[in-house]
A and B are shown apart, each in its own frame.
Chain A
Amino acid sequence: MNWMHILFMCEIYVILSLSANLVSGYTGLLSFANAAFYGLGAYVTTLVMKNFGFNYFPSLLIAVTFNILISLIITFFSIRLKDLYFTLATLAFQVIVFSVLYNWEKVTGGSYGISEIPAVNIFGHQLNGTKEYAMLGGGFALLVISFFNFFQRTPFVRLLECIRDRELGAVSLGKNISYYKSICNSVAAAFIAIAGSLFAVYNSYIDATSFTLNESILIVNMILIGGTGNLIGPIFGACFYVMLPELTRLIPIDSTQGASLQMIIYSLILILVVRFKPNGIFGKFKFQ
């Protein structure tokens, strides 16, 4: 059992679920486009690093900027839609991004993916080995967690909670709701780009099948199981999801059955949580 690998995956999913929580937990918009931004972050970092010979950090910056621009475009189309229809618009966006990544063979390599992604270089030190990547990922995860920890106490988040709980109230206070929602979407997309770039440089190979609709569904499930609207819920959900395969590995069955057994357990927990504890295990906000 490779603990460092598990730690690294935990860090990536913590970043992903905290960013998804910013959109779904604080603003109350259920977005299925998280894996699209995850994939865009990974692909943009990779392409910039491979084609222009940039180092990791400048390419990460470019990926973050790119994701913010894309999120502004999708926000422009979807921000006026209400709950289910916003979800559908983000789902459509997810499918569109996936099919572009999967089929635009000239740029993204299509179903073959991109291999031999260069390693991260920090001040002349080439990272190698899972442990050093886990430290890099840990640095970013701590950054994101401390950002959200700070963010929780700002007056801005209370405005977001107001939009989530009583949109009409926020309007009557003269707040521009679409503006705040689009800020949330952009910040989440920026953080998700970090997770995508980490995933790309760690595996040194990416292909589009890591960024399907199922991945988005998993991210949403993580925050719903853990609970939305606070810090501990999404972190718990992400760690739980990454740890679950290690638990089912103790049962002696073959790997296909093991994978489906995980998903059976996972979906049962999801159904039970939605049915009996709609605000998740640690959640603050009830999704209704």
Chain B
Amino acid sequence: MSYQILVYSITSALLLSLVAIGFNLIFNATKVFHLAHGAIYVSAVYAMYQFYNVFIQAFSRGFAVTLSIILSLLLISVIIVFVEYLVYRPLYQKKVNSAISLISSLGVYMLIVNLITFFFGNESISLNNNFKIVVSNEYFKLTEIELMQSIICVILIGTVILLSRTKLYTNIRAITDNYQVAEKFGINVQRTRVIALITGTILVGVAGIMKGYEMAIEPNMGLTIVLTASVAVIVGGVNSLKGTIIACFVIALIENYSVKFLSAQWKDLLTYTLLIGVLVFYKQGLISVKQRIETR
């Protein structure tokens, strides 16, 4: 029983890390508290569903799945570029504060989610949910999709950590610190913002599609997942990717192990109590440079 919870925690922590790393990159590069991330998460699943239903009539199953994954990731990248050009960039040029960019991101979230509800209805959809169990022993069981999720997540997270040693990530860090100085030193701020947005979007799109294969998705569940991810980002320390990943594991372990003692409905309460605890008593987060997080 206990080992099974551990396996669940690890798979959900890996999925949450994908969302949270994307959130972290976008938050650092654009300073927008990007709640529309949740809308992107949901729209990836719906785009995948729609493309798959179209392509399955013409092609074989494997090819249709691959093609629709690629097309849906492309679609959400186009959406995020539109959002950047129409909403975030003008606000960035006006130098508004973080609260107002949060509100604009919330507006984008509401717009996308309600467009999805308008066209696809309120029902939850699931891409496929009968999976074989591939690993089964006396301690735990692992289904096909959980194994696949873990492998893909580990590959993607590894890639991002490798990428975090390149020039691009250094540019993002420079923009986070002081974008005016970064601009003076010849860093193309606009381009870096777009690249960070697209990277984060693709990560969250992959997470959404994999979640859609595991369980049913409904239009309004994006807000919960992005808020949990943002808690992970704040708890882990805002400008540390490793801190974000560690915080994801902490949150997933707390949420899954609390089921043993409390009913499953209380897990939101634990997550947000953790957030308040960190905000009040441990402002710099788990891993970070020595600076109060609110002064950034």
Contact = CB atoms under 8 A, between A and B. Distances in A.
B96 A287 contact: yes
Contacts, number: 130
Nearest to A269: B107
Given A85-B294, A260-B117, A271-B104, A96 B269 contact: yes
A287 to B, nearest CB: 5
A23 interface: no
A62 B106 CA distance: 35
Interface size class of B (residues with CB under 8 A): 35 or more
A266 to B, nearest CB: 7
Residue of A82, A270, A274 contacting most chain B CB atoms (<10 Å)? A274
A82 B109 CA distance: 24
Given A83-B99, A103-B265, A260-B117, A77 B276 contact: yes
A103 B266 contact: yes
A243 interface: no
A267 B107 CA distance: 5
A85 B279 contact: yes
Interface string A84-95: 110111011101
B129 interface: no
Contacts of B82: none
Interface in A80-125: 81-85, 87-89, 91-93, 95-96, 98-100, 102-103
A188 to B, nearest CB: 17
A267 B227 CA distance: 19
Interface residues of A, number: 43
Q: Please classify the interface of chain B as helix (H, G, I), strand (E, B), loop, or mixed, using the class held by over half of its residues.
A: helix
Nearest to B273: A96
Residue of B100, B272, B295 contacting most chain A CB atoms (<10 Å)? B272
A2 to B, nearest CB: 25
A264 interface: yes
Nearest to A253: B118
B272 A81 contact: no
Contact of B107 (A84, A98, A270, A288): A270
A168 to B, nearest CB: 14
B97 interface: yes
Contacts of A98: 268
7 contacts: A84-B99, A256-B117, A263-B110, A263-B114, A266-B110, A274-B91, A287-B97
Interface of B: 33, 87, 90-91, 94-100, 102-104, 106-111, 114-115, 117-118, 121-122, 223, 227, 230-231, 234, 263, 265-266, 268-269, 272-273, 275-276, 279-280, 293-295
Given A217-B106, A274-B103, 5 more contacts: A88-B275, A95-B268, A96-B269, A261-B114, A264-B118
The 6 A-B pairs with the shortest beta carbon distances in the complex, nearest first, are A267-B110, A92-B272, A84-B98, A260-B117, A270-B107, A263-B114
